[in-house]
Chain A
Amino acid sequence: MNSSDTNISNYLQTPTLRLLTCGNVDDGKSTFLGRLLLDSGNVYEDHLGALERISRRYNPTNSGPELAYLVDGLRAEIEQGITIDVSYRYFFTRNRKYIIADAPGHAQYTKNMAVAASKSDVAVLLIDAASGIKIQTIRHLSILSLMRINRLVIAVNKMDLVDFSKERFDGIKDDIGRAIGTIYGRMCPFWSVPVSSRNGDNVVRKSASMPWYDGGSVLEILESMELDNQESSSFCLPVQYVARDADRRYYSGTVASGEVSVDDEVVVLPSLLRTRVSGLSVAGKHSEEAKKGDPAMIELADEVDVSRGDRLVKSEQELMQGDTLSCQVFWFGEKAMVPKDVYELKFLTYKARATVRQVNERLDLDSLVRSPASRLAQNEIGFASIMLSTDHYCLPFQESKALGSFLVVDIGTGDTVGLGTIVSIGKAGRPHPYATVVDKSMRAALKKQGPMLIWFTGLSGAGKSTIANLLEQRLYEQGYHTYLLDGDILRDGLNRDLGFDSDSRKENIRRAGEVAKLMVDAGLLVIACFISPFAEDRTMVRSLFRKGEFCEVYVSTPIDECIRKDPKGLYAKALRGEIPDFTGVSSPYEPPVSPEVTIDASKCSVSEAVQLLLHHLAED
């Protein structure tokens, strides 16, 4: 192109920043936005002319144009002087494109605030310098945290009304920092900027009236803001549309997480049919791979039955399966949400009938207190369990916004009456995982570790306990929170009612698996040592965990070596026939087919074995 090449290439190469603006109804949000657009050179002359005409008509006593009218669009909004609906604004600088979702501040329009938050990367929260934090500010922060908005810019507005006081600004900054800490449950990075939208201080241009402020203007902060994305990386493509030509079928859909390449094996959910990707294109071009966000068109090697709403994954274990969603619900319907009501849920491309099983709690946005509830009224947020007519595969919202959320649709009116975000998914009939505010990922984050179960299997005397003990010692020294789950201790307490017959052994392993699951849920690194000779039992334990949370360590020391060492003299007894059903002697051991790690303790030292394990764990 020509002289403006460099400017345009900056614009083109920087990811668009989607931001939402929110704040109490009187905190000057529309004026702030008008100022932002005006000072960044994004208001056209004909719009300014129209602005002056409207200003004179609706507010004849005021001198000068009312900047807020630049963004208040609907007639009712101008007449009532309030914002009713989310309005989208587009502007660009030399560096970046911006999409602003302007969310209404009025209490009854909480729904729209959630709409605006859903696609935003960052929130600009306005606070009136004169009046400080209000209940509305807290409510908005709560919604931002529930929608996982993790970048906040706090614009302390109307600084001109408090004589540009540093003390006033610092006081509000401290208050908002505490509020964010409480609401987010951890520190969420935030920037605070003293602003006067009316005069233009620190919106686009740095203020001359506040020399004590050494940070950037709001726009300067936004210009350099980087976006990252920490979400699940397991491949999942919700099938959106099946296209056909004379002899082929093509499966289209946008990759919701992870990536896929030509020749990858894939599983179709829910049918569990397995096939292979034989051809791939992205947005009309042939491609070798498709990654998160890419609108793909996939050809499969086999003629399998795939339709809209199905999902393609690499492994069914990477998603959670069940028919009962434990979820957080934003309720918008005029009619309250009550148990036994039937709705249609819309996941990305999948629709299913569902019954409200139970409303558990209501969240008070002002105090953040959760109180028991049996129904959710309009504009309330709460926790509920919802039962689907068939099993569904999904992820918790904390791991994937795309795969962890759904709309609740009223079948009679077609209206969208709720938004659900998934906390966990389970099976009806089983004790249901209760929706807790603090969840596994939060507990683990506090411990700065990824929780998992390291399951040692192998013959008696193979060296499982010795290796496991040293492994725990090393992990402990490195600051990890661990627990070594020992079969003997379990049999002393929890499992003292169990014998050694085959049913009891099975139950012993099942309980060990469930206990380990609770501990992993608590955020711990759990090490378990069980002979666990049967593949079926080990598979059952594995199925309790997400992929990456279960590490099977097969201690493969040959039986001759175990008999030679025989530390507890058990083999001697078993060989004399004194112990019935002894693994390796009178009962079989089924070696794992594909364990994560295999260690032959007769060929390496205990510390070498532990080094190998630590190396493997570090790679995951």
Chain B
Amino acid sequence: MSQVLRDLEYESIYIIREAIAESQNPVLLYSIGKDSSVLLHLLMKAFYPVKPPVPLLHIDTTWKFKEMIEFRDRTARELGISLLTYTNAEGIRLGIDPFSTSSNHYTAVMKTEALKQALDKHGFDMIIGGARRDEEKSRAKERIFSVRDADHGWNPRSQRPEFWNLYNCRLMKGQTIRVFPLSNWTELDVWLYIYEEDIPVVPLYFAAERPVVKRDGMLIMVDDNRFKLGLNEKTEMKHIRFRTLGCYPLTAAIESGARTVPEIIEEVFSADHSERSGRLIDYDEQNSMEEKKVRGYF
């Protein structure tokens, strides 16, 4: 393996082992995207030949792409790892959905609140996730082992200093730690690693003809019949793919001809827009991600 990827892989394995060794009740937050695929692959390697002693948790908003859910269930089955899913039932009862609710409120209820409920329900103390520092400015400031208060909130002004590979995992009552083994990976690294290790990812990352609607300059895929067309809106077939995957009504596609991993790598190597430019929830307001993280978003 090339030096850049090997260094990243080794660093991540150390972090994963450290998190699980220090934890009473660890969980891996599995979001089904390419970063989660890499994280899962690293988890398997970290404990090979033994099965990793940690379950997966997926926060299901019920608005994920259908292909994501199929991929999730198949992956857990094939790896033989236990998969927990959680949906905020109260949000469903209140009819919170991404079309009729503001993206801010929807995310707060169906993602942030749901995650907090799931973590409290199972009492997880160490939550491993696939966030990367190069995704967004406030993530760029987060530690690899990031302490959350009893309400799962992040306090960016009092983070524990980290040096070399020394990680303080001591928890006070109510505290939990979010762990980010992929902190130092970039989008390019993730794709290069997927290529080199032949890691399966959701097919939505690869370009294909798909039905989309153009809304506020973004291409939104019509994934099921819950999609409500507005006046003058029409569904058209376009050759698209996704750079990130989330809830389908809130995740914009890009027009692309990249059908294979090497073609995606080529596209990323010469991209002129950031990866999260297709994430509508990042654009609610300046510092939007920071606000969400302070309140407990991943």
Contacts and interface: CB of A to CB of B under 8 A. Distances in A.
Interface of A: 1-4, 7-9, 11-16, 44-47, 50, 53-54, 57, 73-76, 78, 84-90, 92, 97, 99, 111-112, 114-115, 118-119, 240-241, 243-245, 250, 252-254, 281, 283-284, 293-295, 297, 308, 332, 344, 346-349, 401-402, 405-407, 409, 411, 413-416, 419
Contacts of A250: 49-50
B293 to A, nearest CB: 11
Contacts of A86: 141
Contacts of A244: 50
Top 10 A-B residue pairs of the complex, sorted by shortest distance between their CB atoms: A284-B45, A73-B137, A12-B2, A118-B163, A284-B48, A44-B274, A295-B13, A243-B50, A90-B134, A241-B21
B5 interface: yes
Contacts of B133: 88, 90
Contacts of A4: 265-266, 269-270
A413 B172 contact: yes
B282 to A, nearest CB: 10
Contacts of B13: 254, 283, 295
Nearest to A90: B134
B232 interface: no
Given A254-B14, A254-B165, A416 B48 contact: no
A556 B264 CA distance: 71
Contacts of A9: 2
B164 A405 contact: yes
Contacts of B3: 12-16
A402 B165 contact: yes
B168 A409 contact: yes
Given A115-B162, A119-B164, A254-B10, A1 B265 contact: yes
B172 A414 contact: yes
Contact of A2 (B47, B147, B262): B262
Contacts of A88: 133-134, 140-141, 183-184
B97 to A, nearest CB: 27
B166 to A, nearest CB: 5
Contacts of A54: 286
A114 B162 CA distance: 9
28 contacts: A1-B265, A12-B4, A12-B5, A13-B3, A13-B4, A14-B4, A44-B272, A73-B290, A85-B141, A85-B156, A86-B141, A87-B137, A89-B134, A114-B163, A115-B161, A253-B17, A281-B49, A283-B13, A283-B45, A295-B46, A347-B166, A348-B165, A402-B165, A405-B166, A407-B163, A407-B168, A414-B171, A416-B160
B291 to A, nearest CB: 8
A297 B48 contact: yes
B281 interface: no
B277 interface: yes
A14 B18 CA distance: 28
B272 A112 contact: no
B170 A11 contact: no
Interface in B245-277: 262-263, 265-266, 269-274, 277
Nearest to A115: B161
Nearest to A254: B14
Contacts of B141: 73-74, 85-88
Contact of B17 (A7, A57, A252): A252
Interface string B95-120: 00000000000000000000000000
B159 interface: yes
A7 B188 CA distance: 13
A74 B9 CA distance: 29
B189 to A, nearest CB: 8
Interface in B150-176: 156-157, 159-168, 170-172, 175
Contact of A92 (B9, B137, B188, B286): B188
B47 A252 contact: yes
Given A13-B2, A90-B134, A415-B160, A75 B49 contact: no
B192 to A, nearest CB: 7
B81 interface: no
A312 to B, nearest CB: 15
Contacts of A254: 10, 13-14, 165
A112 B157 CA distance: 11
A47 B171 CA distance: 37
Contacts of B273: 44-46
Interface of B: 2-7, 9-10, 13-14, 17-18, 20-21, 44-51, 53, 133-134, 137-138, 140-141, 147, 156-157, 159-168, 170-172, 175, 183-184, 186, 188-189, 192, 195, 262-263, 265-266, 269-274, 277, 286-287, 290
A8 B165 contact: no
Given A15-B7, A241-B20, A413-B172, A118 B184 contact: no
B188 to A, nearest CB: 7
Given A97-B4, A348-B166, 20 more contacts: A12-B3, A12-B4, A13-B2, A16-B3, A16-B4, A46-B274, A78-B287, A88-B141, A88-B184, A90-B134, A115-B162, A240-B14, A240-B17, A281-B49, A283-B10, A294-B10, A295-B13, A346-B166, A347-B166, A407-B163
Contacts of A2: 262-263, 266
A419 B50 contact: no
B48 A401 contact: no
B47 A50 contact: no
B168 A402 contact: no
Contacts of B18: 240, 349
Of B18, B147, B168, most A-chain CB atoms within 10 Å: B168
Nearest to A70: B137
A81 B7 CA distance: 35
A419 B163 contact: yes
A405 B163 contact: yes
B184 A90 contact: yes
B10 to A, nearest CB: 5
A89 B175 contact: no
A8 to B, nearest CB: 7
B220 to A, nearest CB: 17
Given A75-B287, A119-B164, A344-B170, A15 B4 contact: yes
A2 B260 CA distance: 11
A434 B102 CA distance: 64
A283 B138 contact: no
Nearest to B6: A283
A407 B53 CA distance: 27
A119 B11 CA distance: 12
Nearest to A12: B2
A44 B274 CA distance: 5
A605 to B, nearest CB: 52
B76 to A, nearest CB: 19
A614 B147 CA distance: 57
A416 B286 contact: no
Given A118-B163, A401-B164, A74 B138 contact: yes
B269 A8 contact: yes
Contacts of A78: 287
Contacts of A1: 195, 262, 265-266
A3 to B, nearest CB: 8
A90 B186 contact: yes
A113 to B, nearest CB: 10
A44 B135 CA distance: 12
A228 to B, nearest CB: 14
A76 B165 CA distance: 29
Contacts of B138: 73-74
Nearest to B132: A90
B100 to A, nearest CB: 27
Of A2, A73, A332, most B-chain CB atoms within 10 Å: A73
Contacts of B53: 243
A418 to B, nearest CB: 9
Contacts of B287: 74-75, 78
A112 B163 CA distance: 10
Contacts of A411: 170
Nearest to B173: A414
